């Protein structure tokens, strides 16, 4: 493309749009006028040094605030930002046509191009994601990953106040509906003007493929049903997941469980998560080989993992699906009170499965994580949920991503851990009361604490707590009684 003379911030942004999109030099005046309409014609600064289109967009948003075209709440800024980045985002029909044309030549290149677009147009918030704290914790189960999630901006008081005044809207029905594509956004709903969804057929039904705006791992994506229906784990789920990993080379695909407490944050819309990332659970070995009668073509085993996982491997998709469904049906109705496993109480069903699919060495691999969402007087938050003594670190649901060995911890921990470190070093501090007992234990077990090692020691202790969190969520504990109970369940599947 021929570079135009750059005079102002708007000119430079328009130049970048022409270079990054299907627009041409002939469209320059049109683009400039559309941008000026959005940000205002006053207070336009000279062109900055940067060529980063996202940074230029951010500066234009500030101009719009100055010109009173928008308010200064985070949502209003996001809405305008997405609208500006929509200039470099092709229409959904074009995005889909290019994806599938490229897919015929190379699925990997088609996926890579869509991922690149989703980053370039700021749908994937790469700069915000970079703020997250990330470290690994070596454990007997492999390298457990820990993230403290700092990427999602917290709602400011003005935004909350404005949201209360807004009339309730049923459109889109939820954040995962197809209707989000191109949606402007509002005070209490995220901006989606630059959002695109790839349509694909999964087992004779239309689904969508998109990336997660606030990714927790590499190429974190979402596969969503075109129909707004509640999540259900059944035989169809297993076939859909295995079909996805067949269509998307190098990606895993998994589903949150479909029950409260053990499920994900959105149970109202059928969807799966996936991406190009190797979790500790994937590398965890088979600890106990098992066999299922009538399924000699399916390798099976119990995985060495803090939660209760059965791994199935076969080159035959139908065989894996049939066996997975048999295990699910048995688990849904299975009770063993000796280890507090109860299928139903007071008319409420408690059992489901968190499934994760991948391809390995040309074969289908399906991990089935057994879940139980019972509560009790002793464990009102969940018998197989993080128990009270670890909730100072993690009290939220243990969803798909945590199940696989990646902790998603709340933002509060960034400053709270700084205060814990001060407390451990005997400095003035504002340690939260709920961390004090844990910190005293660290102090007792690590007498050689100093300025140089305190941060690493606290991170290591956080890792140990998350391993405990996963062990709490395991239905068959990793002791002799738990192993015998697990094998008893396997025997029940066979009979």
Distance CA 311, CA 369 (A): 9
Confidence (pLDDT) at 133: 96
pLDDT digits (tens, 9 = 90+) for 211-226: 999 999 999 999 999 9
Nearest in space to 120 (alpha carbons), one of 180, 190, 200, 55? 55
Task: Return all residues near 387 (Cβ < 8 A) that are at least 6 apart.
Answer: 379, 381, 472
Q: Does residue 145 contact residue 407 with C-beta atoms inside 8 Å?
A: yes
Write the CA distances from 71 to 34, 35, 94, 194, 273, integer angstroms: 19, 17, 33, 20, 34
Q: How many CA atoms lie within 13 A of 482 on its CB side?
A: 15
Confidence (pLDDT) at 301: 98
Instruction: Compute φ and ψ for 286, nearest 5 degrees.
Output: -70, 125
In DSSP terms, 202 is beta-bridged to 205
Confidence (pLDDT) at 267: 87
* DSSP-assigned letters across all residues of 109-157: HHHHHHHHHHHHTTSS-HHHHTTSEEEEEEETTEEEEEEE---SPPPPH
Nearest in space to 339 (alpha carbons), one of 479, 469, 467? 479
By DSSP bridging, strand 406-409 and strand 142-148 are parallel
Query: Which residue has 């974190």 as its token pair?
Result: 220
Chunked into runs of 10 residues, the chain (495 residues) has average pLDDT values of 63 97 97 98 95 97 98 93 98 98 98 98 95 96 96 59 61 95 92 97 95 96 96 96 98 95 85 97 97 96 98 98 98 97 94 97 97 95 95 94 96 96 96 97 92 97 98 97 98 95
Confidence (pLDDT) at 159: 53
* DSSP-assigned letters across all residues of 382-424: -TTS--GGGTTT--S---HHHHTTEEEE-THHHHHHHHHHHHH
Structure tokens at 125: 């918030």
Neighbours of 134 (CB within 10 A): 14
Confidence (pLDDT) at 415: 96
Kindly give the interhelix angle for 9-20 and 28-39, rounded to the nearest 10 degrees.
130
């Amino acid at each position: 493309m021929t570079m135009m003379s750059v005079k102002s911030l708007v000119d430079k942004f328009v130049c970048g749009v022409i270079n990054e999109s299907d627009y041409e030099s002939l469209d320059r005046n049109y683009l400039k006028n559309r941008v000026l309409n959005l940000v205002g014609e006053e207070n336009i600064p000279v062109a900055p040094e940067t060529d980063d289109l996202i940074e230029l967009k951010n500066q234009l948003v500030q101009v719009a605030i100055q010109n009173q075209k928008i308010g200064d709440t985070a949502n209003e800024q996001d809405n305008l930002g997405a609208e500006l980045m929509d200039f470099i985002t092709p229409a959904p029909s074009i995005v889909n046509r290019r994806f599938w044309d490229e897919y015929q030549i190379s699925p990997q290149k088609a996926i890579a191009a869509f991922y690149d677009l989703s980053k370039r147009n700021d749908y994937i918030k790469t700069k915000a994601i970079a703020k997250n704290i990330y470290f690994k914790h070596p454990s007997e189960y492999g390298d457990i990953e820990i993230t403290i999630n700092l990427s999602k901006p917290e709602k400011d008081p003005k935004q909350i106040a404005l949201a209360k005044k807004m009339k309730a809207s049923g459109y889109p029905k939820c954040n995962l509906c197809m209707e989000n594509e191109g949606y402007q956004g509002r005070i209490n709903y995220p901006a989606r003007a630059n959002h695109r969804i790839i349509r694909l057929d999964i087992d004779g039904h239309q689904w969508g493929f998109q990336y997660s705006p606030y990714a927790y791992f590499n190429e974190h994506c979402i596969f969503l049903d075109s129909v707004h229906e509640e999540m259900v784990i059944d035989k169809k789920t297993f076939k859909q997941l295995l079909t996805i990993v067949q269509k998307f080379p190098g990606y895993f695909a998994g589903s949150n469980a479909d029950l409260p407490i053990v499920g994900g944050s959105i149970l109202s819309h059928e969807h799966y998560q996936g991406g190009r990332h190797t979790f500790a659970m994937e590398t965890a070995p088979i600890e106990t080989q098992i066999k299922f009668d009538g399924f000699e073509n399916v390798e099976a085993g119990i995985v060495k993992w803090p939660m209760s996982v059965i791994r199935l491997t076969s080159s035959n998709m139908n065989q894996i699906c049939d066996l997975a469904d048999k295990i699910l049906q048995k688990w849904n109705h299975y009770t063993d009170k000796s280890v507090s496993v109860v299928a139903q109480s007071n008319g409420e069903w408690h059992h489901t499965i968190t499934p994760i699919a991948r391809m390995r060495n040309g074969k289908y691999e399906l991990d089935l994580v057994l879940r139980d969402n019972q509560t009790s007087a002793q464990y009102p938050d969940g018998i197989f949920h993080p128990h009270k003594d670890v909730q100072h670190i993690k009290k939220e649901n243990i969803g798909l991503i945590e199940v696989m060995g990646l902790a998603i911890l709340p933002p509060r921990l960034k400053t709270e851990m700084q205060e814990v470190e001060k407390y451990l070093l005997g400095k003035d501090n504002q340690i939260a009361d709920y961390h004090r007992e844990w910190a005293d234990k660290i102090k007792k077990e690590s007498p050689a604490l100093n300025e140089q090692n305190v941060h690493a020691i606290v991170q290591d202790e956080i890792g140990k707590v998350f391993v405990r969190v996963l062990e709490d969520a395991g239905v068959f504990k990793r002791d002799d009684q738990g192993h015998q109970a697990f094998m008893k369940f396997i025997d029940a599947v066979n009979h």
